[in-house]
Amino acid sequence: MNPIQTTLIDTINNVNDKPIFCPAIYDLKAKLAGCNPSDFAQNTDEIIIALEYEIDKLDLKIVTSAFDIYNIEAEAVGAMVTRKDHYMPEIEIPLINTPEEVALLKRIEKPSGRMDLFIDAAKAIINKYSSKVYVRCGISGPFSMASKIYSSDKLLVDCVLHSDRVFDLLRYCTETIKIYLKGIIQNHIEVVVFDSFASPPLISPEIYRDLVFPFHKELFDYVRDQNISYRPLILGGNSWLLMKYLSITGANSFLLDFNVDDDIKEKMLMEYENFAFRINIDPSIICNGNNVSISKFLEYFLKKFEKYKNVIIGTGILPYNTPLENIKQMNHSINK
């Protein structure tokens, strides 16, 4: 176990005195590699270049081999990713029009599409930097994958009117995701699961409990069985409303997004003290800030949460035009 892993385990165990900085660098990876967002992540080398920049130039200790996260599993089973102008890649046309069509979808037996690109990039970074950094691959959660291969609006309606159909769709998505997950873990890479479409107010806690929770638990039972100690499940939004269910998925690290009131953040930190929480900073503070405004905000932030030992400092997704010197300043101020 390397020193960064030890810090993360200390955070889960509520004994970490100095929070680690883990900004959300996805869209921004393209800039680090000198690419437009629409062109990035079509080969392993440019992913490696971006990750090396995060480590060598931004001095980050946690890096994620991922880019347009919610496209990867959907693309692997046949969805077409469009790449337009200067925008992030996206899936515009769902693969199916009704949940009953799941039976017709392609089933993969090994990592497919661009999955191997991210696995190979993570392996290269691990081989180069060894114990100096914590390297992970980012994968989709089942509800977010479902929203990519089926109309997101119809999915939300079907959760209420046709929950049995949604369950079958989520079963298919979970089986697909587990193929990617197994490929990652078999290569001795850590993992983070993102399922932002499963967060309130998009779905209610009751819908989460009945439809999504069983599949989150299945994924994290597998991760835990592989002796993965740090197991983050990232939903964002108002996911704190789901904590009584999230806390029994087998995941042990969650997100308190920048839109959540500080009083609620403190309540969660105290009530679920044996879980790690990444507290996100509003990305606009970093993107639009300067030395004075960033320093002033961090002074407030660090003082507000200094007594909590289960905190990771994160950010909302940093846009492509984020000044890199602002990320450096944030990282330096947190770690000084």
Sequential pLDDT tens for the chain (336 residues): 789 999 999 999 999 999 999 999 999 999 999 999 999 999 999 999 999 999 999 999 999 999 999 999 999 999 999 998 889 999 989 999 998 899 999 999 999 999 999 999 999 999 999 889 999 999 999 999 999 999 999 999 999 999 999 999 999 999 999 999 999 999 999 999 999 999 999 999 999 999 999 999 999 999 999 999 999 999 999 999 999 999 999 999 999 999 999 999 999 999 999 999 999 999 999 999 999 999 999 999 999 999 999 999 999 999 999 999 999 999 999 988
Number of domains present in the structure of the chain: 1
Residue among 166, 175, 160 at smallest CA distance from 146: 166
Amino acid 180 reads Y
Rounded to an integer, what is the distance from CA 110 to the centroid of its chain? 22
* Ranges assigned E (strand) in 104-149: 134-140
d(CA 26, CA 11): 24
Task: Encode burial over 242-270: b for 16+ CB neighbours within 10 A, e otherwise.
Answer: bbebbeebbbbbbbbbbebeeeebeebbe
- Residue 173 domain boundaries: 3-335
Q: Are 238 and 260 in contact (CB under 8 A)?
A: yes
Q: What is the pLDDT of residue 130?
A: 87
- Output the six-digit token pair for 200: 């309130």
Q: What is the pLDDT of residue 285?
A: 96
Q: Is 85 left (phi over 0), alpha (psi -120 to 50) or beta?
A: left
Q: What is the pLDDT of residue 303?
A: 95
Q: What is the pLDDT of residue 249?
A: 98
Q: What is the pLDDT of residue 335?
A: 86
| pTM exceeding the 0.85 threshold for the entire prediction | yes
With residue 316 as reference, give the H or E element that holds it: strand 311-317
With residue 233 as reference, give the H or E element that holds it: strand 233-234
Q: What is the pLDDT of residue 336?
A: 81
CATH, residue 150: 3.20.20.210
d(CA 194, CA 192): 7
Backbone angles phi, psi at 259, to 5 degrees: -80, -10
Q: What is the pLDDT of residue 322?
A: 97
d(CA 93, CA 78): 11
Q: Are 223 and 191 in contact (CB under 8 A)?
A: yes
